[in-house]
Amino acid sequence: MTKRKAYLPLYIGIAIALGIFIGSTFNFNNNAVLFSSNSKEAKIKRLINFIQYDYVDKVNTDSLLDDAITTMLAKLDPHSVYIPKDELQSVTESMQGKFAGIGVSFLIHEDSVAVSSVIKGGPSEKAGIKAGDRILVANTDTLFGKSFIKKAGVAKIERGTIDGNRKMSDAVMKALKGEPNTKVNVLAYRRSVNKKLNFAITRGDVSIKSVSAHYMINNTLGYIKVDRFARTTYDEFKQDLDELISKGMTSLALDLRGNPGGYMDISNKIVDEFLSEGKLIVFTKSKNGAIDKSFATDKGDFEHGKIYVLIDQNSASASEIVAGALQDNDKGTIVGRRSFGKGLVQQEMELGDGSAVRLTTARYYTPTGRSIQKPYTKNHTDQYNNDYLERIHNGELVSRDSIKVDDSLKYKTPKGKIVYGGGGIIPDVFVSIDTTGTFSNELYSELSPFIFKYIDNNRTEMNKWELYDFVKNFDKNDKIFNEYISELNLNYTIAPRVKEDLERYFNAIMARNLFDETGYFIITQKKDNMILKVIELDSKK
């Protein structure tokens, strides 16, 4: 006992030294707080404890804290957001452009999982899975029948199909996704041979395409559709750009309609393909006034080509960086409608429990110095999110003259073109929204189930089609389309223009199922007013 007491001061000294060492290894500038004396943090922790231990009813404090964080961020700006841990993985996968899985697209048809397409070179193709196969079991998970429907929390099947049902799709994804290089044993039913087949599939990285379509509109005008700016987007874009250049493209329609944005550095790399070395692409400014500028390099492969950028009211963030950089450098033509108006830069920060916040850390400005962020106030949520309705009421979706501009936010490009800040990119050439030929949700919602069923019943014959032959010659006598109309058994007459549009979408979705998104866009864009305007503009070059 006396010996222990003699060494006690030494033990205490070692403990203190070890504590100091451990403490010094934490980066407190990155908000790693173990022993915080911050009164505000202590206040929040004390409140949570009071609620957890003293409140009269049982409360899920995790859910309460999630709600509190969401409310707190909402008071900052419209784009600082909280990402719960159960959503972070899917958000991350989308932005990284890949996930670990078996490499199939599927839909829920009747009470089973039907493979609609197999990703080329992916794990399922290597294992032998084919389009049309029904996945019945994945390891120990049953993926068909009433038990599957009940387990997924679905009440009933409507009209013989539950195509796209979120709960069931989530259940399937959970069964099929997993860590790379792990195995999943799949039992599938193949109609063409009327047999159940076993497949051992090794999960691998599956690409999530962000550049969904590319093709030549005519001999010199190419088209590329960019859905978002993910980590893989530039590589996808560059591959498609080079392919179209090799086919003789001298003009490009870059479609950013509906593109919500993504990584700024990726949008900058795409802009770099069009601007000569030294041209300013964008600059950001932080709270402390630090300015970071991005310039074009000498790597551009389409600096001498003509560029048309297609935007609409849902083109935001990185999409607006692309449009703004080209517009302010007098490069190309911006076609469409006023863009969303997001000029804030977010950084994703993990909170340590699998959740994260996407926090606004800077503002960005186009080369002329304009911010295109639309106005917002502290109580901004409803007004900000209802901006689209305001645009409808103001008439700006059908008339350029209805777009409100602030003369105090007027800027000039090097060639003297007037551009405005304060609320999105105003296009050089306005194209109104198409308000004719719309059809009901009932007509549209039944398209995919009918088309899948038709292809599934005629798969051998349908697989013989080539894309461009299909675009020109499929269903010329309207036999299949009329079969679809008859099956709906509608008790009203479809107007000729609505029927024409519906048939175009019918063929487009058929092409998407048989080929890919390129087939869909080739068909739908035959009557696409923005594409038709680009063709008109390019013919005058």
What CATH number is attached to the domain comprising 118?
2.30.42.10
Q: Contact at 8 Å (CB) between 337 and 311?
A: yes
Q: Contact at 8 Å (CB) between 115 and 133?
A: yes
Do residues 286 and 351 share a domain?
Answer: yes
Q: How far is CA 93 from CA 177, 190, 210, in A?
A: 12, 31, 12
Helix (H, G, I), strand (E, B) or coil at 229: strand
Q: Contact at 8 Å (CB) between 302 and 245?
A: yes
Q: Contact at 8 Å (CB) between 326 and 270?
A: no
User: Is residue 87 a part of any domain in this protein?
Assistant: no
Q: Please tell me the distance from the alpha carbon of residue 380 to that of residue 82, in angstroms, as a whole number.
A: 17
User: Is residue 79 a part of any domain in this protein?
Assistant: no
Q: Please tell me the distance from the alpha carbon of residue 478 to that of residue 484, in angstroms, as a whole number.
A: 10
Checking DSSP bridges between strand 141-142 and strand 183-190, what pairing results, if any?
unpaired
User: Is residue 491 a part of any domain in this protein?
Assistant: yes
If one counts the domains in the chain, the total is: 5
Q: Contact at 8 Å (CB) between 417 and 375?
A: no
Cα end-to-end distance, the chain, whole Å = 97
User: Is residue 90 a part of any domain in this protein?
Assistant: no
Q: Contact at 8 Å (CB) between 79 and 362?
A: no
Do residues 493 and 476 share a domain?
Answer: yes
Domain end, chosen from 369, 399, 430, is at 430
Tokens of 499: 């029927």
User: Is residue 85 a part of any domain in this protein?
Assistant: no
User: Is residue 88 a part of any domain in this protein?
Assistant: no
Evaluate the CA torsion angle 194, 196, 202, 205 in order and state its sign. Answer: positive
Helix (H, G, I), strand (E, B) or coil at 102: coil
Do residues 256 and 266 share a domain?
Answer: yes
Do residues 277 and 364 share a domain?
Answer: yes
Closest by Cα among 23, 76, 112 to 360:
76
Q: Looking at residue 18, what is its pLDDT?
A: 43
Closest by Cα among 239, 253, 188, 183 to 211:
239
Q: How far is CA 139 from CA 143, 176, 330, in A?
A: 10, 9, 57
Do residues 336 and 409 share a domain?
Answer: yes
Helix (H, G, I), strand (E, B) or coil at 306: strand
Q: Please tell me the distance from the alpha carbon of residue 272 to that of residue 211, in angstroms, as a whole number.
A: 17
28: Cβ–Cβ under 8 A, 6 or more apart, which residues?
A: none
Name the residue range of residue 12's domain.
1-35
Angle at 232 between CA 332 and CA 103, to 5 degrees: 130
Q: How far is CA 84 from CA 59, 75, 355, in A?
A: 18, 18, 5
Q: Contact at 8 Å (CB) between 357 and 82?
A: yes
Cross-strand partners of 344: 363
* CATH code of residue 311: 3.90.226.10
Do residues 142 and 282 share a domain?
Answer: no
Query: 254 burial class (0-12, 13-18, 19+ CB within 10 angstroms)?
Result: buried
Do residues 185 and 234 share a domain?
Answer: no
Amino acid identity at 238: K
Helix (H, G, I), strand (E, B) or coil at 138: strand
Checking DSSP bridges between strand 134-138 and strand 195-202, what pairing results, if any?
unpaired
Helix (H, G, I), strand (E, B) or coil at 428: coil
Q: Please tell me the distance from the alpha carbon of residue 440 to that of residue 26, in angstroms, as a whole number.
A: 59
Do residues 202 and 330 share a domain?
Answer: no
Query: Strand (E) positions, 102-148?
Result: 104-109, 112-118, 134-138, 141-142
| Residue that has been written with the tokens 């020109």 in this structure | 472
Q: Please tell me the distance from the alpha carbon of residue 173 to that of residue 371, in angstroms, as a whole number.
A: 41
User: Is residue 247 a part of any domain in this protein?
Assistant: yes
Do residues 399 and 250 share a domain?
Answer: yes
Do residues 372 and 514 share a domain?
Answer: no
332 conformational bin, left if phi > 0, alpha if psi -120 to 50, beta if neither: left
Q: Is the pTM for the entire model greater than 0.85?
A: yes
Checking DSSP bridges between strand 429-430 and strand 333-336, what pairing results, if any?
parallel
DSSP 368: T
pLDDT in tens, the chain (541 residues): 444 455 444 444 444 444 444 444 444 444 444 444 577 778 888 888 898 899 999 988 888 888 889 988 988 999 999 999 989 988 999 899 988 999 999 988 877 899 999 998 899 999 999 999 999 999 999 998 877 877 777 665 554 444 446 778 888 988 999 999 999 999 999 998 999 999 999 999 998 999 999 999 999 999 999 999 999 999 999 999 999 999 999 999 999 999 999 999 999 999 999 999 999 999 999 999 999 999 999 989 999 999 999 999 999 999 999 999 999 999 999 999 999 999 999 999 999 889 999 999 999 999 999 999 998 876 666 678 788 898 999 999 999 999 999 999 999 999 999 999 999 999 999 999 987 766 666 667 778 888 999 999 999 999 999 999 999 999 999 999 999 988 877 666 778 888 888 899 999 999 999 998 999 999 999 999 999 999 999 998 7
Closest by Cα among 283, 282, 299 to 291:
283
User: Is residue 455 a part of any domain in this protein?
Assistant: yes
Closest by Cα among 243, 242, 262, 241 to 253:
241
Phi, psi angles (nearest 5°) of residue 168: -70, -40
Do residues 300 and 414 share a domain?
Answer: yes
Do residues 217 and 274 share a domain?
Answer: yes
Closest by Cα among 94, 95, 102, 90 to 181:
102
Q: Looking at residue 441, what is its pLDDT?
A: 64
Length of the chain: 541
